[in-house]
Chain A
């Protein structure tokens, strides 16, 4: 039977939710106008004032915030309350330039933990569970986010942080962890290590909460079967609090957005135009309640689809698909859009590990795509022709999926940098 952490909100009638969102947006816009000069200036430039925002329908009048805005306003240009009222910061690194610092009041932390607790209960986790958190602790929101939600729910939490696989497995076995929280690639890595050490019979895991990284349905199936668990997706961004903005229910088909705290829209990433539900586009999130770092219409760069179809779990929250790539992760190679997740899907279908690296370069004014793939015992043979035949099949499937040719390079297992934190999947050497 489906369980809920806050049933009256999670299953509220849509009209009631919408009324709540309208009321909260109006007061949030007023809060930002009064306290965040950076955004007030943006509103003034767009010719909008708080008086124009009377319901959630008016949200499209508001200007967007982009990651660049967050960098420009570093370190505290978007903080919504005096530092004295903040109790914590988290920070996310950009690949270029300055970091982004996000601020939290005591209430912000509480609402974040509530969102995470809903995610855990939706995965049928309760205070009976032993939750092993292997996301990094510190500035990264993964560790403390899952930790806070699990503790709020009353679980016993193992604050392992990332790394040290030996210690992870030791605690997992000795303390009988039932829930694993980490990146999907680290879950896949732990699962391989468990099988190598023949520990499967001594592991008690039954659920996994995996996020912070792109993964595919095939990767989920492979992790679920190798660890004997149900793997649930969780979504969030440091800019918006952290994991728990959206979470998966027992249906495991899309993530419910915590709509009492976050309002979601999808836009055309090129024109900024709002798209109807069901369209594929860039996810834009408005924080309706956070006071420390109150972002309005923040462009997440994640490409996804929103759906308001009735979910079998009973929740009325809108669902987002798993991000299909990031608008800025998308590689344009020979004029073709390529998402790393497409390559991952093919690798898993062809029996290769999801640990890969993509190298894009430009040789003689033409783009090249190279993919490093790890050899496995199953794909290896003493016969070169058998290995080559499998490699050719992989190249053909990649061509079918991507529409362009990829140079595959088979390498020794575990030689591609492993992601105990986040994976380095793409190296773009093009100087454009």
Chain B
């Protein structure tokens, strides 16, 4: 039930991110989320796109180092305290999170989406009463 995320090695050089985005654009891939973690020297770009397999292929073909991993996407009510409630629940259940970031919801309703990287299976989140989304829910067209 996980959502597939593509991470790409980003060398600290001007135009590198633009280069990655252009490769993706030229392949007709639509980006749903983008998050960057960096040190002063390099970074990791994390992407959610509508076509994860194709994204990995086009980036690898250009000689970039990338990989696909599963992450958990959770729907968060778009109201004050929406995220605080979700995070408190996660903390109470002792679910440890490696990193997280937000992305646009795809349903046009008043919901945001948070993406979590964790060692735990997504069922743990569902059992905690959270609204776990599948790829289709956030506009990923590849199975």
Q: Is A8 in the interface zone, CB < 8 Å from B?
A: no
Complexed CA–CA distance, A231 and B43 (Å) = 37
Check if B67 sits within 8 Å of A381, measured CB to CB.
yes
Interface string of A399-428 (1 = CB under 8 A from B): 000000000011111110000000000000
Q: Given A387-B44, A411-B11, A412-B9, are A380 and B67 neighbors across the interface (CB < 8 Å)? A: yes
- Residue in B39, B41, B69 whose CB lies within 8 Å of A382: B69
Whether A388 is near chain B, meaning CB under 8 Å from some CB there, is yes
Q: Could you tell me if B63 and A412 are in contact, using CB atoms closer than 8 angstroms?
A: yes
By a CB distance below 8 angstroms, the chain A residues around B67 are: 377, 380-382
Chain A residue at minimum C-beta to C-beta distance from B39: A388
**A409 (CB) vs chain B CBs: closest residue:** B41
The distance in angstroms between the C-alpha atoms of A381 and B44, with both chains bound, is 8
| B-contact bits for A378-404, CB 8 A (1 contact / 0 none) | 001111110110000000000000000
Q: Does B65 contact A (CB under 8 A)?
A: yes
Chain A contacts of B7 at CB under 8 A? 380-382
| Chain A interface SS verdict (over half) | loop
Closest chain A residue, CB of each to CB of B38? A384
Residue from B5, B65, B99 in contact with A380 in the complex, judged by beta carbons closer than 8 Å? B65
- Count B interface residues, CB 8 Å: 21
Which of A375, A382, A385, A415 has the largest count of B CB atoms less than 10 A from its CB? A382
Are A412 and B44 in contact, with the CB atoms below 8 A? Answer: no
Cα(A382)–Cα(B68), bound, Å: 8
Chain B residues near A35: list those with CB within 8 A: none
- Residues of B near A341 (CB, < 8 A) are none
* 0/1 string, A240-275, CB within 8 A of B gives 1: 000000000000000000000000000000000000
B64 within 8 A of A: yes
Which residues A358-380 have CB closer than 8 A to chain B?
A: 375-377, 380
User: How big is the A interface, by class?
Assistant: 10 to 19
CB-CB under 8 A for A410 and B64, given A382-B7, A383-B98? no
Among B39-70, those with CB < 8 Å from A are: 39, 41-44, 46, 63-67, 69
Report the separation of the CA atoms of residues A85 and B110 in the bound assembly, to the nearest whole angstrom.
91
Contact: B65 with A384, CB < 8 Å?
Answer: no
- In the complex, what residues of A have CB within 8 A of residue B69's CB? 382
Task: Say yes or no: A384-B9 contact (C-beta < 8 A), given A375-B65, A412-B64, A413-B65.
Answer: no
- B43: which A residues are within 8 A, CB to CB? 384
Query: Would you give the shortest CB distance from B69 to chain A, in whole angstroms?
Result: 5
CB distance from A19 to the nearest CB of B (A): 59
Known: A376-B65, A412-B64. A384 touches B44 (CB 8 A): yes
Interface residues of A (CB under 8 A from B): 375-377, 380-385, 387-388, 409-415
Q: Give me 8 other A-B pairs in contact (C-beta within 8 A), A381-B44, A412-B9 excluded.
A: A380-B9, A383-B98, A383-B99, A387-B44, A412-B11, A413-B63, A413-B65, A415-B11
12 A-B pairs whose Cβ atoms sit less than 8 Å apart in the complex = A375-B65, A380-B7, A380-B65, A381-B67, A382-B5, A382-B7, A382-B44, A383-B99, A384-B99, A411-B11, A412-B63, A413-B65
Rank and list the top 4 A-B pairs by shortest CB-CB distance, nearest first.
A382-B7, A384-B37, A380-B65, A375-B9
